[in-house]
Amino acid sequence: MNQTFGPSPTERSRQIAERVEAFVRQTVIPYESDPRCGAHGPSEDLVLELRSLARAAGVLTPHILPDGHHLSQRETAAVLERSGLSPLGPVAVNTMAPDEGNMFLLSRIGTPQQKERFLAPLVSGQQRSAFFMTEPAAEGGAGSDPSMLMTTAVQHGGAGGDWHIHGRKMFITGAVGAKVGIVMARTGQGTPARATMFLVDLPHPAVKIERVIDTLDSSMPGGHAQVLIDGLQVPDAHVLGSAHEGFRYAQVRLSPARLSHCMRWLGGAARAHEIAVRYATSRSAFGKLLVDHEGVGFMLADNLIDLKQAELMIDWCAGVLDAGSAGTAESSMAKVAVSDLLFRIADRCVQVMGASGVSGDSVVEQIFRETRAFRIYDGPTETHKWSLAKKIKRDALQGGVQ
């Protein structure tokens, strides 16, 4: 098994992580050259095929136990890191975004009826989901600033009546092919802005895919879509949690989801490093192995250091979340640090491998693209730093600077 990752925090997570790693290495990696892996992610039939194999191997949705309880965040890290050893790994074992975050949110605040209707099919791997929050910048909609939310939901017929939703969403991951949607919409007027989350059965005639956007990454089924929501009618029973509490619930989802991205892509960077090491220890130039050239060997040494730093940052933040904290600042710090570390690792791997590193003949090229996109997804680095700077100022003014 891979020695890049630290020991699992519990015996049960060690066993699950080892099974997931074996499955990804032996079964999933050979699918990386499958022609059904396209520019907008693996096709739906490939997703179902991989999940059928994962189900048979007993590693489908491994972070959720048979009794419905989630592993702790530190345990989850051990498992999700292994699933990320291939870009197809999280897809195959059902630990990918946005489903993993949506399952977490539904398990925390969904009603029993909502869990049966919307959560159970996600946990079983039979359905995929999408989270509808980001909006087109050209229309002044919400991006890194959720308070700019333009999509509206109005309740008709008083308390208990249906909600009517109108708006346009952008970069909605997995919208094509999703069966479950969580839609964020502004509810009510005034300041501060209020929002509500709505559960939606998909596909729906009022939720129209306008286009699938060409993006740098290509690992997520359905790609990233621009979506028009035109007169979507949602029953009051499908409000997720309480009305007008959408922004608060988003924080419940976002901190663990940011960290889950770090976990998965740590696995990808570790795999890229493995491939670069094999290349550097088998390819010779100027009379000796590439690894014996200081310029190459030092890059691989830097990778080893950065991999360990990323692992420790993830473990620290996971411990904060497991202790019951919301972990808003900590997850921002982890997301910034880990996304930068992993991109540096992938970039060095490309450099070590030369032309082979930019070729589609190796998965290193895709891992490079995916880790670059990660520095923007779930909040750009600069947004998180700005949020942290505000916290620094707030804490200093409240406590006094010594």
Cα gap 216→41, rounded to integer Å: 11
The DSSP output letter for 380 is -
Residue 400: the pLDDT is 58
Do the beta carbons of residue 217 and residue 370 sit within 8 Å? yes
Cα gap 86→79, rounded to integer Å: 13
Core vs surface per residue 4-42: b (16+ CB within 10 A) or e: bbeebbeeebbebbebbbebbbebbbebeeeeebeebbb
Helix (H) / strand (E) element for 59: namely none
Do the beta carbons of residue 174 and residue 91 sit within 8 Å? no
At the fourth CATH level, the homologous superfamily of domain 129-240 is Butyryl-CoA Dehydrogenase, subunit A, domain 2 (2.40.110.10)
Fold adopted by 247-399: Butyryl-CoA Dehydrogenase, subunit A; domain 3 (1.20.140)
Helix (H) / strand (E) element for 206: namely none
Omega of the bond leading into 62 within 30 degrees of 0 (cis): no
Residue with tokens 């590693």: 59
CA contacts within 13 A on the Cβ side of 337: 21
How would you write the pLDDT of the chain (402 residues) with one tens digit per residue? 456 788 889 999 999 999 999 999 999 999 999 999 999 999 999 999 999 999 999 999 999 999 889 999 999 999 999 999 999 999 999 999 999 999 999 999 999 999 999 999 999 999 999 999 999 998 888 888 888 999 999 999 878 899 999 999 999 999 999 999 999 999 987 777 899 999 999 999 999 999 999 999 999 999 999 999 999 999 999 999 999 999 999 888 889 999 999 999 999 999 999 999 999 999 999 999 999 999 999 999 999 999 999 999 999 999 999 999 999 999 999 999 999 999 999 999 999 999 999 999 999 999 999 999 999 998 999 999 999 999 999 999 987 555
Residues 6+ away with beta carbon under 8 Å from 325: none
- Extents of the domains making up the chain: 11-96, 129-240, 247-399
Residue 179 corresponds to which tokens in the numbers above? 């069966």
Q: What would the CATH number be for the domain defined by 11-96?
A: 1.10.540.10
Helix (H) / strand (E) element for 285: namely strand 284-285
Do the beta carbons of residue 109 and residue 252 sit within 8 Å? yes
Q: Positive or negative CA dihedral for 67, 44, 46, 24?
A: negative
Cα gap 83→16, rounded to integer Å: 11
Strands (E), 96-250: 129-132, 152-155, 163-173, 180-186, 195-201, 207-213, 224-234, 239-240
Cα gap 105→97, rounded to integer Å: 12
Residue 6: the pLDDT is 83
Residue with tokens 């939310």: 149
Omega of the bond leading into 221 within 30 degrees of 0 (cis): no
Beta-bridged to residue 284, according to DSSP, are 289
